Structures are given as C-alpha cells and as structure tokens.
Amino acid sequence: MGKINLKAPAKINLFLQVIDERPDGFHNIDSLIQAVSLYDDITLEISDDIELECSGLDDINVEDNLAYKAAKLVSGMAYFPGVRIALNKNIPIGSGLGGGSSDAAFVIRGLIKLFNLQLDRVELVNKAVSLGADIPFFLGHGQSRIRGIGDIMEDYFLPLNYEILIIKPSFSINTSKAYQALNLHRQGKFTLTKEKDICFLQKRLTDSGFVRAAKHFTNDFEEVVFSWRHELLQVKQTLLQEGAFYAGMSGSGSAIFGLFPPNYNFEKASRRFTDEKMTVFACRPVLLPTTE
C-alpha cells in the first residue's frame, strides 16, 4: 500500500463554554463536539520528502498549513521516508467548523496507517494540541466532551438520527480576535467567570433526551460575535423558525447550524438563504474510526 485516500470531516460545537484565560494566554474551555458529514478530501502517497499540494486554500503558505505541520510533527516522533499530501478543501475556513484541525488529524491518522507507525497516544495528543485545540477531538471517535485547551477529552455517545443545516456567510471570524473581545466583554460585566450548570450533559443520551438537552446548549462567543455581525443572529432565528430544535454558532463562527428532526426536507429552509450570499450545507452527524 503506497497510497491512501481520506475524508476529513467538519465539526460543530453543540455546547461551548469558555471557562477562563490561562497564564500562558490560552483558554480553558468546556465543549461538546460532534463530527459531521462535510469533508475535505486528502490523499497521502509515499514520497522521499514531506510535500503538500492544496486546492481551495491558495493564500496560505505550505509551511503554515496544519496538514503539513502535522506531517512534520509525526516525522519527529517516528521515522518515515516522506509523504506527498494532496488536500482538496471543501470545509470553509474561518467558519468554526474545524477544517484545518481535521486535516491535520487525518494526516496523522493516515501516516499511522500508511507506515504502520506505533505512536504513544498521550505524547501524540500533547503535541497535537499545540498545533490546534481541535486536533485531539478528530483523533477520537467523533463525539466528545472537550476540556482544558482541548487536551482533556471524554467520549460521549449521542444519537445520530437527526439532520444538520449549516449556513456559512461570505465573511469569516478571526478566532484570536473573538477571544480578545470575549475577554474585554467579560471584564466589563463581571470579574470572575462562573461555570454554567451543565448537569444536562450525560454521556449517553436517547433521541428524546438529546432534544431535551439541546434546549440548554449555548455558545459563549455568540453574544460578542452577534454584536459585530447582526446578520448571524438573524440566521439563527431563521433556522429556529424553519423547525430546528436547536440553532447556534459553531466555535467562534462564522458558521451557524441548525439541528432538525430526521428526514427533514431542507428545500424550503435552504431557499431562505439563497439571496443572502451564504453557502448552505446539508449534512448529518457521523462517527469516526478509532485510532487505538
């Protein structure tokens, strides 16, 4: 086997709480994350060096691409001769959907398989999180509660029997600026961060339990980001009007998603966004193969 093809999925943050800022400048978070069936396509082929060809992401240098950085990270942990990475981007950047982190994680997954590498799991997670906080999630099974800076992960077992509509506007949100704005916003409102009551998050949820739990889902970034871009709040409200049992922003935005009952017909809901310069993705929750 000298070549493998991979599909790197996007993710949505069903729940996202920013706990506090750490002395090192990173933030502790608490988030429930679900992988979804919107994919970047990756091909890995044995080569004599680490190379990357990327379509759909022309404004980023090869050395700055997370897929390339992930291959370099693995090369520092175990020997392999080299790999040619062909990456086709479909997940929009600056959307909060985790495309870059997913690409990195699936390059790692692919290298392990392609070269039969034996990597220490704890060391891998600790190093991967330094590249991107969502990378450890994409090394998991696709449904996890994430804490710390992304390095503390618990598997959750959630229903898969629902539909997802993702709306991506033409603009993106800078994650670093969103965190900075959130810090300033909080300083103006209160001095100590108080954790929300998240006892509704059970490790195993039935279909009906998931819908009930969704009534408590929140994203700490929404208040700040919606104050910048009022149209995102309108997108969320429209999704709820169209029958979503929950709608919210993924990560720090700019993508807004709605969760709908199974077999929902998205035709009418999708038409609501056709004249708004927004891209619409219809997808489903998915599980990921284990890397153990």
- Report whether 288 contacts 142 (CB < 8 A): yes
Q: How far is Cα 166 from Cα 39, in angstroms, rounded to an integer?
A: 13
- Report whether 260 contacts 163 (CB < 8 A): yes
Q: How many CB atoms lie within 10 A of CB 8?
A: 30
Q: How far is Cα 135 from Cα 105, in angstroms, rounded to an integer?
A: 5
Strands 27-46 and 83-88: antiparallel
Task: Specify the amino acid at residue 68.
Answer: Y
> What 3-state DSSP class applies to 133?
coil
Q: Of 287, 292, 291, which is closest to residue 144 (Cα–Cα)?
A: 287
- Catalytic annotation on 11? yes
Q: How remote is the C-alpha of 135 from its chain's centroid?
A: 9
- The tokens for 230 are 């009022």
- Catalytic annotation on 203? no
Conformational region of residue 92, where left means phi above 0, alpha means psi within -120 to 50, and beta covers everything else: beta
> Which listed residue (134, 168, 220, 236) is catalytic?
134
Contacts of 129 (CB under 8 A, 6+ apart): 135, 136, 149, 150, 151
Please give the DSSP secondary-structure letter assigned to residue 249: E
User: What residues act catalytically?
Assistant: 11, 134
